[in-house]
Every structure is written in structure tokens, then in C-alpha cells.
Structure 1
Amino acid sequence: MRILSAVFSACLAFVVSLGLAAAAERWETLPPTPAPVAKGSYAEVNGIKLHYATLGKGSPVVLLHGGLGNSDYWGLQAKALARSHKVILVDSRGHGRSTRDAKPFGYDLMADDVIALLDKLKIKKADIVGWSDGAILGLDLAIRYPDRVGKIFAFAANTVTSGVKEGVEKNPTFAAYIERAGKEYGKLSATPKEYDAFVTQISQMWSSQPSWTEAQLKTIKAPVLVVDGDHDEAIKREHTEYIAATIPGAGLLILPNASHFAFLQDPALFNAALLTFLDGK
């Protein structure tokens, strides 16, 4: 019996080790998109209907999502921030519930949409939390509208197209995100059958933008924290380090065991970093 028990224990340990080996690393996972955290409204800006939602009270913070996504992705962060801030969640033009028109997509145009929304909400200045395209928009705002932004939490940004890894769309986690984003578009968009056309439009922007020079980045005066996951599927680490080294006074934070989707994969650490930067907590 002792021999059988030893054999069983050895087999069990082997099976467990196989299971652990087969389990995906946290940075390889794509956790579910959070449910909406607040009822939304629409603002007519620059020829489109921009969807937004607000929650909480305090100093304003605008949350800007990544390309192809929507503001629901920020649900876990919005709840944490709403304890001490007025949180403004925005679906960028053409994304989520917001409409688009025939104008070519551009970061300047989408940043102008954010400013127009702040004007309608009578908000003179706000902190910006951005992920991927949203982080690029935050930096765009810091360059072009320095008096309208406070702190910039820039997660997974690039400032030139060469900062993006080639073939990112073939990465399994990123491919799963693209597929999910298409399904979400079909459920949320006012033009649910036009996902392919939308992707074509925004891909034209991605082929040439952003394209900021070192001199432009050096004009940024806002406090900036440049953040990324240590396993980002899309952004080159050396480029993230370049951004932090070039923007005057910027900080650099690399989140461990996390990817382009760190805010879903490790929301506790992500939120702690976010609140520490914005509030010193």
C-alpha cells in the first residue's frame, strides 16, 4: 500500500505540474470586458455624436480607451477613481456607441473631440488616463492643449509608427482582442454592420500616425507617467523607454507579468499605480 500510495502521489504531482505548465501565464490572458458602470449620454461634437458617461465627484479624470475598443474596458478603473474623482468615460469617434463621419481618422481630430466634450461639460482642465490609442490622445492633448490637461497616465502608447511591433495582430491574445472588439462593435454601434469599413478607416490612420518628433515630445509640460506591461504584445520596450526619457520629467513604470491589457489582467496593481500617480495614495 505504501508503494501504491507513493506511486499515486508521484502521479498526482506529475499531473499537477502538467496542468501548471499548460495554464496560460497571466500576461497571455484576456479577461472579460467589464460591464458598463454608468448610464451614458451623447454630445454632438465636430459632426458626430460622441458617447460619454460620468460617475463620481471630485477633480475630473477622462478615461480614453484603445483602438477598436470602447469605454467599458475601463470599468474596473472607473469604479476605483470615482471614489475621489469625477470620471468621464468616452467612446472615441467611431468606437463603441459613438458615431463617425466621412472625415479621415486622426489623433488630432479625436483629441479635438475630447476638448469639445470638456467644453460642453464646462470642464476647464482634467487629468487624462489613456490606454494605447487613448494614451496617444493624452499626449496629443498635452502637446496641443497644454492648458486643458493636468496629469497624463499614458499606458501602452507609441509616438511613432515604428514603436509598434510587426505582426502584433497575429499574437494570440491580441487576435482574441480584435475578434472580441468586432463582436462588441456589432452590439454597441449605431452602424453594427460596418465594422470592416471602420477598421479600414482607422487602419489608414495607424499606417502613418502618430509621427511626433523628439522636439514635439520635449514641449510637453504636464506631469506624465509612461506605463506598460513587461509582456506588451504591441509596443516595443525600447520605444516605451524612449518616450519616458524624452518627455521632460516623465516617469517610467513597467508592470510585471502583464501585457497590453494589464488593466484587466492585474487591476489591483494597475489601479494602485494609477491612484498613486494621480493622488499620491
Structure 2
Amino acid sequence: MRALLLGLLAGLVATAAAAQGTPRWMTLPPTPTLPTPVSSGHAPVNGVSIWYATFGSGPPVILLHGGLANSNYWGHQVPELARSHRVIVMDSRGHGRSTRDSQPFGYALMASDVIGLMDFLGIPKAAIVGWSDGAIIGLSLAMNHPDRVARLFAFAANSDPSGVKDVDKSPVFTAFIARAEKEYEALSATPRQYQQFVAEISHMWASQPHWTEADLAKIGVHTWIVDGDHDEAIKRENTEFMARAIPGAGLLLQPEVSHFSMLQAPRQFTEAALLFLERTWD
């Protein structure tokens, strides 16, 4: 554990020095690429086609990306996690290389897609590492499918729309939305529908989830609630509320990063995730 913590500090110093005066939480580094997978393809799930890829071997961990994004955003994390785990990435319905149908976007529906992919791949139970919408999907899984979730690392989730800031005021988030359009056009089976896609995802963000303290208190899965200390999208009080409400949950604030920690400080993010995945509870 000490080696991991020292690695975190080393990564923090090196990245800060490379920033050349620009705070790293104000940067949006390039989207990485995924390494060559052990297997990949499209799974028929809930009437749509879910793209997935798997890497490495060992205890399974599923990485769930944020809204408007795709699995490529995990390109820095996959190689390290795959040294000791079977890593599965998937594009959420309507995102990246996955298709969608006429059903409105919703976190419970997307959580059921994760279960469907697990069934398709023959995975009875897996750890979940989720970012933003992926973290909310992870929380939905922990509430409604606890027998399928080994543990949950939830980065930059919110329990209620009131926990979200006005991201229109953030130049980093604005740049992400513009980048996501180019990625959508390159990956999607419906490349001309990005504006409609954004409108529908924005409606989901404005209306979901609505979890109370009592709802969160039902989670029995080992959970860390994690965020960047400069998150431009999630209110700190909501992050702390979730950590208090979930029994036994850990709270981790990653230093000098924002909503895009896995890009801004990939080593720091990955080592924190590994620390959690290897954590033992007596």
C-alpha cells in the first residue's frame, strides 16, 4: 500500500510540473486509444447492440464511461488494470459503437444493459469502476442487482439533479462536448444524430436520478465515492452526502483534477482504482 501511495505522490508531482503553469484541472488531454483486446464484438442486449472489449485475466472488473463519451476514455487505465484483472469495457447504449432503440435514456435501463452483457459473457459477478454516468449506473447496479456487484468505485456521480453544477460555464466541459461530437460522428451507427443525442442525454441529466438517503442506505456493496477536488460538474456537498449515506462507504477526493481525472492524472486515477480493487475488508 505504501508503494501505491508513493506512486500517487510521484504522479501528482510529475503531472503538475508538466502542466507548465496551467492547472491540470483546467486541461482536457487527448482521448487515449484502447490496447488490442483479447476479445471484442457486439452483444445483443435488451433489443440493442452493445459494443464491448475484454483485456487480461483475473477477477472481472467492468469500466463504465461517462455520458456522451465512449470506452476509449479508459485507454490509460486498461493496460495497468489488465495486469491483474479481466477488464471489460462497454459503450453504453446510444454511445460510441453501441446502438439504441426508441426507449428513453435512463440509468436503470443502462444498468440492465450491463447485466445483459454480463450474462452474454458468462460473468456472474464483477467489480465496477464507473465515471460520471457510469458511476451512477454503478450505483443503480449496487441498489438493484447487489448479487452481481463485487464492489463499486464510483467517480463523479450524483444522487440527484440538484447535485449537478451548471457545466455551461465550464470551458473544459464545453470542450469535452465539442470533442464528443467528433467522436460520435466517427464511431456511431447514426453519426448525424449527435444534437438529438445530446438533447436526450441532457434531459436524463436534468431528471435523473432521484435517490434519497434511505435509498442509498440500502447499498450493501463495498463502495468508494470518489471525485476530483476541482470537479466542474458535481457539487462537493452531494459527493459527501452519498459517502455518508452509503453504509461503510469510503470518500476519496483526488487532488488537482476535475471531472476528467482519468485523462488529467491517469496514473493517480489508476492507482487509486487498483488500491480499491485490491482492498481487503476484515
Q: Secondary structure at the match of 2:147?
A: coil
C-alpha distance 21-211 of structure 1, shift in aligned 2 (>3 A): closer
Percent of aligned pairs with the same residue? 61
**Whole-Å separation in 1 of the counterparts to 2:174 and 2:36:** 28
**Whole-Å separation in 1 of the counterparts to 2:66 and 2:169:** 18
8 Å contact kept, 1:220–1:248 = yes
Match of 1:148 in 2: 148
Q: Structure 2 counterpart of 1:202, which letter?
A: I
Tell me the TM-score normalised to structure 1 length.
0.90
**Whole-Å separation in 2 of the counterparts to 1:252 and 1:87:** 24
**Whole-Å separation in 1 of the counterparts to 2:168 and 2:65:** 18
For residues 83-94 of structure 1, the aligned pairs below 5 Å read: 83-94=83-94
C-alpha distance 197-82 of structure 1, shift in aligned 2 (>3 A): same
For residues 1-281 of structure 1, the aligned pairs below 5 Å read: 23-39=21-37, 40-165=40-165, 167-280=166-279
Displacement after TM superposition at 1:53 (Å): 0.4
Q: Structure 2 counterpart of 1:151, which letter?
A: R
How many aligned residue pairs are there?
Answer: 261
Q: Structure 1 counterpart of 2:125, which letter?
A: K
Q: Structure 1 counterpart of 2:118, which letter?
A: L
**Whole-Å separation in 2 of the counterparts to 1:210 and 1:218:** 15
Displacement after TM superposition at 1:22 (Å): 8.4
Cα-to-partner distance string for 1:211-252 (whole Å, 9 max, x where unaligned): 011111000000000110010000001111111011000000
C-alpha distance 21-263 of structure 1, shift in aligned 2 (>3 A): closer
8 Å contact kept, 2:62–2:128 = yes
**Whole-Å separation in 1 of the counterparts to 2:159 and 2:172:** 23
**Whole-Å separation in 2 of the counterparts to 1:37 and 1:182:** 23
8 Å contact kept, 1:63–1:87 = yes
**Whole-Å separation in 2 of the counterparts to 1:277 and 1:21:** 27
List 4+ stretches of structure 1 deviating above 3 A.
20-23
Displacement after TM superposition at 1:272 (Å): 1.2
Tell me the TM-score normalised to structure 2 length.
0.90
Q: Structure 2 counterpart of 1:141, which letter?
A: L
Cα-to-partner distance string for 1:58-86 (whole Å, 9 max, x where unaligned): 01000000000000001111111100100
8 Å contact kept, 1:37–1:72 = no
**Whole-Å separation in 2 of the counterparts to 1:141 and 1:280:** 20
Displacement after TM superposition at 1:204 (Å): 1.8
Over alpha carbons, which structure has the higher Rg? Answer: 1
